[in-house]
């Protein structure tokens, strides 16, 4: 009996990945389980000795783990890239963020900004500094370890907050009390790329899933989820 494939993945690709795993089960008659973490947590878990068959994360993180020999796979497949979006509590007016100046006015005028401590949050903190509004925004920024904290805060908040996260997970959670206000303006947008690799070299089970990720069906599922 073929073993169950264990996957550790960044949370931003969750909407597409769960559908790909379901298609893999149906088409290949194989079982796979997925655990989601932020990119920093993925590095910590793998360096701490946790074992998985497949790892899905930004290429730079995969490069670092490969250089330290925590990852030995040689079958990396690109999945796509995801941008940063803005969310508000459901029913609240959407902020005007079409241009960089619109975006600056909206973030300066809101009561608080809510974002994570992972890739999105690191980029946003640097962006605010670059736009010359870092001091004003730092004092009203609320940070959580991952998007789950951001989601709960915006959903349960006063409605005078702006949240930030990967566009894919914001859109996925529109049924959970939040609304997608739109992506960052293209001039200041930040895309994070994601790729899949096996954790160990010559792991035929893991390689089967990684190769499936590269298939036309899997790639079309990722595209439909906003991962292009």
Residues sharing a CB contact under 8 Å with residue 226, sequence separation 6 or more, in sequence order: 15, 16, 82, 167, 168, 171
pLDDT tens-digit series, residues 31-68: 999 999 999 999 999 999 999 999 999 999 999 999 99
Which has the closest alpha carbon to 13: 32, 39, 33?
A: 39
Q: Tell if the pTM clears 0.85, that is, is over it.
A: yes
Q: What distance in Å separates the CA atoms of residue 206 and residue 73, rounded to the nearest whole number?
A: 9
Q: What pLDDT score does 119 carry?
A: 85
Q: Per-residue pLDDT for the chain (228 aa), expressed as one digit of tens each?
A: 568 999 999 999 999 999 999 999 999 999 999 999 999 999 999 999 999 999 999 999 999 999 999 999 889 999 999 999 999 999 999 999 999 999 999 999 999 999 999 889 999 999 999 999 999 999 999 999 999 999 999 999 999 999 999 999 999 999 999 999 999 999 999 999 999 999 998 789 999 999 999 999 999 999 999 998
Q: What distance in Å separates the CA atoms of residue 150 and residue 86, rounded to the nearest whole number?
A: 11
Q: What distance in Å separates the CA atoms of residue 47 and residue 50, rounded to the nearest whole number?
A: 7
The domains located in the chain, with CATH, are 5-80+194-224 (3.40.190.10), 84-188 (3.40.190.10)
Q: What pLDDT score does 1 carry?
A: 59
Which has the closest alpha carbon to 55: 73, 67, 69?
A: 73
Q: What pLDDT score does 146 carry?
A: 92
Q: What is the 3-state secondary structure (H, E, C) of 120-158?
A: HHHHHHHHHHHCCCHHHHHCCEEEECCHHHHHHHHHHCC
Q: What pLDDT score does 202 carry?
A: 79
Residues sharing a CB contact under 8 Å with residue 161, sequence separation 6 or more, in sequence order: 88, 89, 110, 111, 112, 113, 114, 142, 153, 154
61: number of Cβ within 10 Å:
20
Q: What distance in Å separates the CA atoms of residue 8 and residue 95, rounded to the nearest whole number?
A: 35
């Amino acid at each position: 009996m073929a073993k169950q494939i264990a996957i550790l993945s960044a949370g931003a690709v969750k909407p597409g990945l769960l559908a790909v795993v379901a298609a893999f089960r149906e088409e290949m008659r194989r079982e796979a389980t997925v655990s989601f973490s932020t990119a920093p947590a993925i590095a910590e878990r793998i360096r701490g000795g946790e074992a998985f068959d497949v790892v899905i994360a930004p290429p730079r993180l995969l490069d670092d783990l490969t250089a330290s020999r925590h990852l030995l796979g040689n079958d990396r497949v690109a999945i796509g890239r995801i941008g940063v979006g803005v969310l508000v509590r459901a029913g609240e007016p959407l902020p005007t963020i079409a241009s960089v100046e619109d975006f600056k006015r909206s973030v300066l005028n809101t009561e608080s900004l809510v974002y994570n401590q992972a890739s999105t949050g690191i980029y946003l903190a640097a962006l605010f500094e670059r736009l010359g509004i870092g001091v004003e925004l730092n004092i009203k920024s609320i940070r959580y370890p991952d998007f789950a904290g951001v989601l709960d805060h915006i959903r349960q908040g006063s409605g005078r907050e702006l949240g930030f996260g990967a566009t894919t997970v914001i859109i996925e959670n529109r049924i959970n009390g939040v609304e997608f206000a739109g992506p960052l303006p293209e001039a200041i947008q930040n895309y994070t790329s994601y790729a899949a690799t096996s954790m160990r070299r010559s792991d035929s089970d893991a390689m089967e899933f990684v190769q499936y990720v590269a298939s036309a069906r899997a790639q079309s599922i990722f595209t439909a989820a906003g991962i292009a």
